[in-house]
């Protein structure tokens, strides 16, 4: 099947070339970091994890999100997702590749990385994160590839595939739970030290992840003959809406607990993020943007007539993605490290090289996703499933024009 | 002779690997016929502890020589920005004890400067989170680091609630006066975390930590389980507090107020 | 054979590439063992010359763990003689010239151990 990645339109090749140019160009920033060390980043004694680990955390959510398509299809036999499942699995592969990339660029001695395996330390959550992320990568490669391959050959799926998929569904929850445990088990980091953090991570993952997935699939629809069934889009948008409601609810639970209890440590981080502290207000505009965009996305997604408007949906989803990214990709890390252990504020902002290295990792993920989606859409086209019909419907919609197309 | 010795060393190495993998922390070479042993002069303890008298040691000027002694001895670089490396430093009462914000305190106490260093917690979160056992707790209670093994993930820095850990963001030798290095002690390399070690290398040759020696009796040091140790005597005779005791890490550094 | 010409050309290029080390070293004079400078004052190392030559890296690895992790800093050699476990303060006190001792073989073998990223060489460090 891999050969399908090699045969494409000039536009496909152009896009791949662009990504490779970005990877190579920003790769120079990574070489610069390898030569000079992490001093080229904005990180400090106090904010000792920065943009890289924040992106890692956000993307673990994207990796886990495919399960919002896989679970309804396999556990509830929701047939409308039948031809979307593969994209969830392939997106997870790309996301985990980016997660691992962000870990690699963040550590100070990458050549010693294998020490995590040479000296396995089960009391460290980072050890378990390594286990669950690599396991999830493997599960999705096996499940995605084998199901697509057997579909292409028009054979029934092998009997062992179902248990693998079931494991991968449970596993998806584990990757984001373990990633939350990285943070929520640390004494003295009040913003993270909360039992609901794992639940918050999952809620935020299950709205932002499928939203990104849907946006990428809408782009895929424009450049290929692939077309999602209308009901599939509708259901996924509904799932995203519910998850975003839960996400915002969980966040408000944090705000209540911190401010009603009036315990200073619990209030400080939230206060720093939303109103500033000790004269530092770096994140205030960002956090209010998050608040406004979060409400806006809900306003656009909760009413069914707005949610089902296909013209509006991409914008609603994009707003949601930006909102959740500010919350988790920016506020979570900086708010977790501030105030620092001395109750002081130590501002952090990523530097240019830091952003370039991040772009390199993002471009690598995009490359993996592009190639995998290319293969998947080619196979779908070859099998004639989930294809665009002249009337704009998907062949799975059961529109009238389906019959016309076949007759013609 | 050489051949059998070689086998013995290989076996000892394997034993070391096996024991390191276990959670027991038993010394690698226990098991008899060992070619290594502790130095004769080594000072032993079940839990080393430090008691700092903030009545005597309470200004930047008084703390600076202690920090200087420590940093010179251990070749600690002086990085002039927020990525700096500190083993021992001075902070305000408010920074050191953010949980004690009483109003209308004695101005003398309120304006004291406090000597800060790694707390060598009995229950250290940095050891708990380290994914490679590069940070570990010795049987004598000292929390120390194996810089050869550190991968620079900085999880320990997120885990430490006392801000006691520093990361070598850049090349530490760029910020050291190479003509004045202590040649008996290594520097560190870029990309690893470092911190105070309670001068474990000095305890093993029978000397007290450098800051204790430089403190003119303002810092007491000894075995917490030995009631006749200087640390226990200081604890018995004075009112002491520790940093952030509610977190349950059980710091081994105490402050006389 | 389909595309026989391209396959053969590819094979030739491949063989040429994998045998580069041979071409590269053709005509270079025969290998001679590097002459390291041994300590002037001390004749005996902590273990036999043969052992040290083959196993010093293993021994240093074990020394590192014994001293740093186990807190055991006295090494008893095969003859029962005791040494303090320390690269800088035991090994390099006799081998007081890194360039003439360590580097000679390491450069020859194209290995670059990271010892000196932290440990100070006896010659001192230059800016």
Residue A283 DSSP one-character state: T
Nearest CA in chain A to B166: A45
A122-181 residues touching B, CB cutoff 8 A: 123-127, 130
Does residue A320 contact residue A328 with C-beta atoms inside 8 Å? Answer: no
Cβ separation B28–C117 shorter than 8 A? no
Nearest neighbour of B247 by CB, restricted to A106, A188, A343:
A188
| The pLDDT value given to residue A404 | 58
Best of A112, A118, A128 to disrupt the B interface (most B CBs within 10 Å) is A112
Residue with more model confidence, B16 or A247: A247
Nearest neighbour of A187 by CB, restricted to B132, B193, B248:
B248
Give chain B positions within 8 Å (CB) of A130: 131
Distances (CA, A) of B205 to B50, C92, C93: 19, 19, 18
Nearest CA in chain B to C126: B178
Nearest CA in chain A to B159: A186
B155-194 residues touching A, CB cutoff 8 A: 155, 157-163, 166-171, 190-193
| The pLDDT value given to residue C117 | 92
Cβ separation A126–B192 shorter than 8 A? no
Give chain B positions within 8 Å (CB) of A341: 160-163
Cβ separation C73–B39 shorter than 8 A? yes
Confidence grade of residue B32 (pLDDT, cut at 50, 70, 90): very low
Q: pLDDT tens digits for B41-81?
A: 999 999 999 999 999 999 999 999 999 999 999 999 999 99
Nearest CA in chain C to B171: C117
- B205, burial (CB in 10 Å: exposed 0-12, middle 13-18, buried 19+): middle
Confidence grade of residue A405 (pLDDT, cut at 50, 70, 90): low
Best of B7, B21, B35 to disrupt the C interface (most C CBs within 10 Å) is B35
Cβ separation B151–A115 shorter than 8 A? yes
Nearest CA in chain B to C70: B27
What's the rounded mean pLDDT across residues A166-182? 95
Confidence grade of residue C80 (pLDDT, cut at 50, 70, 90): confident
Give chain B positions within 8 Å (CB) of A280: none
Nearest CA in chain B to A188: B161
Best of A188, A266, A332 to disrupt the B interface (most B CBs within 10 Å) is A188
What's the rounded mean pLDDT across residues A86-105? 96
Distance from CA of C64 to the nearest CA of B (A): 9
Cβ separation C69–B2 shorter than 8 A? no
The fraction of chain B above a pLDDT of 70, given in percent, is: 87
Best of B115, B149, B152 to disrupt the A interface (most A CBs within 10 Å) is B152
Instruction: Assess whether pLDDT exceeds 80 at residue B14.
Output: no
Nearest CA in chain C to B133: C69
| pTM check: above 0.85 | yes
C97 shares contact with chain B (CB less than 8 Å):
no
| The pLDDT value given to residue A40 | 96
Name the nearest CA neighbour of A295 among A244, A222, A344, A255: A244
B97 shares contact with chain A (CB less than 8 Å):
no
Residue with more model confidence, B84 or A394: B84
Best of A121, A333, A338, A347 to disrupt the B interface (most B CBs within 10 Å) is A121
Confidence grade of residue B5 (pLDDT, cut at 50, 70, 90): low
With contact defined as 3+ CB pairs under 8 Å, the chains touching A are B
Cβ separation B125–A37 shorter than 8 A? no
What's the rounded mean pLDDT across residues A70-96? 94
Instruction: Assess whether pLDDT exceeds 80 at residue A298.
Output: yes
Does residue A59 contact residue A397 with C-beta atoms inside 8 Å? Answer: no
Does residue A112 contact residue B151 with C-beta atoms inside 8 Å? Answer: yes
Q: What is the DSSP string of A302-349?
A: SSHHHHT-TTTHHHHHHHHHHHHHHIIIIIHHHHHHSS-TTS------
Instruction: Assess whether pLDDT exceeds 70 at residue A407.
Output: no
Q: How far is CA A174 from the centre of its chain?
A: 15
- Residue C76 has which token pair? 């008893």
Q: pLDDT tens digits for A238-293?
A: 999 999 999 999 999 999 999 999 999 899 999 999 999 999 999 999 999 999 99
What's the rounded mean pLDDT across residues A318-325? 97
Q: Which residues contact B29 (CB under 8 A, 6 or more apart)?
A: B12, B15, B16, B35, B36, B37, C66, C70, C72
What's the rounded mean pLDDT across residues C16-44? 86
Confidence grade of residue B23 (pLDDT, cut at 50, 70, 90): very low
Q: pLDDT tens digits for A343-374?
A: 999 999 999 999 999 999 999 999 999 999 99
Q: Which range is least confidently modeled, A169-178, A298-307, B83-92, C78-87?
A: C78-87
Does residue A92 contact residue A63 with C-beta atoms inside 8 Å? Answer: yes
| The pLDDT value given to residue B24 | 37
- Residue C33 has which token pair? 């063992």
Give chain A positions within 8 Å (CB) of B20: 119
A266 shares contact with chain B (CB less than 8 Å):
no
- Kindly state the helix (H) or strand (E) to which residue B36 belongs, with its residue range: strand B36-37
When the pLDDT of each residue in chain A is averaged and rounded to a whole number, the result is 93
Cβ separation B247–A340 shorter than 8 A? no
Q: Rounded to 5, what percent of chain C is helix, strand, coil? A: 50, 5, 45
Nearest neighbour of A48 by CB, restricted to B94, B161, B167:
B167
Distances (CA, A) of B23 to A21, A94, A347: 47, 36, 39
Residue whose token pair is 């199901």? A147
Give chain B positions within 8 Å (CB) of A44: 81-83
- C64, burial (CB in 10 Å: exposed 0-12, middle 13-18, buried 19+): middle
Phi then psi for B226, rounded to 5 degrees? -105, 115
Residue A2 DSSP one-character state: G
The SS3 of residue B167 is strand
| The pLDDT value given to residue C4 | 87
Instruction: Assess whether pLDDT exceeds 60 at residue B85.
Output: yes
Q: Count chain A–chain B contacts defined by CB atoms under 8 A.
A: 141
Cβ separation A187–B247 shorter than 8 A? yes
Q: Are strands B193-194 and B166-167 parallel, antiparallel or unpaired?
A: antiparallel
Cβ separation B36–C125 shorter than 8 A? no
Instruction: Assess whether pLDDT exceeds 90 at residue A179.
Output: yes
Nearest neighbour of B28 by CB, restricted to C70, C77, C117:
C70
Give chain A positions within 8 Å (CB) of B192: 108-109
C101-120 residues touching B, CB cutoff 8 A: 114, 117-120
Tell me the C-alpha distance between C1 and B250, whole Å.
Answer: 77
Tell me the C-alpha distance between B75 and B188, whole Å.
Answer: 8
C64 shares contact with chain B (CB less than 8 Å):
yes
Nearest neighbour of B192 by CB, restricted to A103, A109, A130:
A109
Residue whose token pair is 């424009």? A222
| The pLDDT value given to residue C23 | 86
Nearest neighbour of C72 by CB, restricted to B1, B9, B36:
B36
Give chain B positions within 8 Å (CB) of C81: none
């Amino acid at each position: 099947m891999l050969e399908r990645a090699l045969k494409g339109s000039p536009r496909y090749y152009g896009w791949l070339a662009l990504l490779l140019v970005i990877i190579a160009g920003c790769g120079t920033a990574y070489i610069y970091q390898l030569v000079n060390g992490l001093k080229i980043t904005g990180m400090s004694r106090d904010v000792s994890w920065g943009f890289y680990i924040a992106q890692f955390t956000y993307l673990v959510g994207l990796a886990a999100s495919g399960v919002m398509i896989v679970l309804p299809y396999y556990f509830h036999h929701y047939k409308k997702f039948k031809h979307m499942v593969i994209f969830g699995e392939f997106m997870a592969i790309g996301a985990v590749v980016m997660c691992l990339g962000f870990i690699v660029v963040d550590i100070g001695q990458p050549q010693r990385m294998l020490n995590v395996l040479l000296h396995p330390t089960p009391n460290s959550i980072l050890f378990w994160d390594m286990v669950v992320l690599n396991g999830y990568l493997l599960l999705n490669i096996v499940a995605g590839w084998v199901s697509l391959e057997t579909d292409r050959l028009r054979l029934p799926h092998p009997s062992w595939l179902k248990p693998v998929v079931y494991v991968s569904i449970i596993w998806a929850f584990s990757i984001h739970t373990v990633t939350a445990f990285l943070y929520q088990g640390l004494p003295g980091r009040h913003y993270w030290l909360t039992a609901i953090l794992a639940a918050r991570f999952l809620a935020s993952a299950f709205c932002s992840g499928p939203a990104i997935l849907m946006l990428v699939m809408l782009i895929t629809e424009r450049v290929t003959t692939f077309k999602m069934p209308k009901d599939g889009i509708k259901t996924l948008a509904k799932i995203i809406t519910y998850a975003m409601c839960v996400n915002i609810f969980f966040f408000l639970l944090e705000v209540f607990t911190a401010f009603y209890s009036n315990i200073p440590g619990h209030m400080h981080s939230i206060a720093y993020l939303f109103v500033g502290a000790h004269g530092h207000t770096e994140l205030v505009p960002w956090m209010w943007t998050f608040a406004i965009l979060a409400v806006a996305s809900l306003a656009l997604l909760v009413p069914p007539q707005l949610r089902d408007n296909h013209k509006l949906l991409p914008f609603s989803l994009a707003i949601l993605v930006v909102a959740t990214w500010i919350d988790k990709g920016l506020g979570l890390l900086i708010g977790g490290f501030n105030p620092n252990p001395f109750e002081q504020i130590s501002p952090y902002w990523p530097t240019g090289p830091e952003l370039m290295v991040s772009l390199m990792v993002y471009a690598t993920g995009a490359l993996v996703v592009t190639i995998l989606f290319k293969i998947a859409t080619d196979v779908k086209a070859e099998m004639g499933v989930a294809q665009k019909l002249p009337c704009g419907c998907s062949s799975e919609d059961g529109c009238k024009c389906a019959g016309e197309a076949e007759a013609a | 002779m050489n051949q059998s010795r070689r086998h013995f060393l290989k076996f000892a190495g394997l034993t070391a690997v096996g024991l390191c993998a276990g959670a027991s922390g038993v010394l690698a070479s226990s098991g008899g016929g060992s070619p290594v042993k502790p130095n004769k002069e080594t000072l032993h303890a079940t839990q080393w502890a430090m008691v700092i008298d903030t009545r005597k040691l309470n200004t930047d000027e008084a703390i600076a020589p202690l920090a200087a002694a420590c940093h010179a001895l251990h070749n600690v670089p002086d990085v002039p920005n927020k990525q700096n490396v500190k083993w021992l430093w001075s902070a305000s009462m408010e920074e050191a004890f953010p949980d004690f914000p009483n109003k209308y305190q004695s101005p003398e106490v309120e304006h004291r400067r406090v000597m800060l260093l790694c707390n060598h917690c009995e229950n250290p979160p940095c050891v708990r989170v380290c994914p490679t056992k590069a940070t570990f707790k010795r049987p004598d209670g000292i929390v120390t680091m194996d810089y050869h093994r550190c991968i620079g993930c900085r999880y320990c820095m997120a885990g430490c609630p006392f801000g006691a850990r520093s990361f070598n963001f850049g090349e530490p030798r760029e910020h050291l006066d190479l003509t004045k290095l202590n040649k008996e002690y290594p520097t560190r390399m870029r990309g690893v975390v470092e911190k105070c070690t309670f001068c474990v290398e000095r305890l093993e040759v029978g000397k007290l930590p450098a800051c204790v020696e430089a403190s003119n009796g303002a810092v007491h040091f000894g075995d917490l389980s030995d009631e006749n140790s200087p640390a226990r005597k200081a604890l018995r005779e004075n009112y002491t507090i520790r940093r952030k005791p509610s977190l349950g890490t059980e710091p081994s550094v105490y402050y006389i107020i | 054979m389909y595309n026989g010409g391209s396959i053969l050309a590819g094979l030739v290029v491949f063989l040429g590439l994998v045998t580069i080390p041979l071409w590269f070293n053709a005509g270079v004079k025969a290998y001679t063992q590097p002459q390291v400078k041994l300590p002037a004052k001390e004749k005996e190392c902590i273990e036999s010359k043969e052992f040290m030559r083959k196993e010093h890296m293993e021994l240093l690895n074990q020394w590192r763990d014994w001293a740093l992790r186990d807190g055991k800093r006295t090494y008893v050699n095969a003859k029962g003689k005791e040494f303090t476990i320390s690269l800088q303060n035991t090994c390099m006190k006799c081998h007081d010239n890194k360039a003439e001792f360590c580097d000679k073989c390491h450069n020859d073998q194209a290995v670059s151990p990271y010892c000196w990223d932290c440990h100070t060489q006896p010659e001192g460090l230059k800016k």
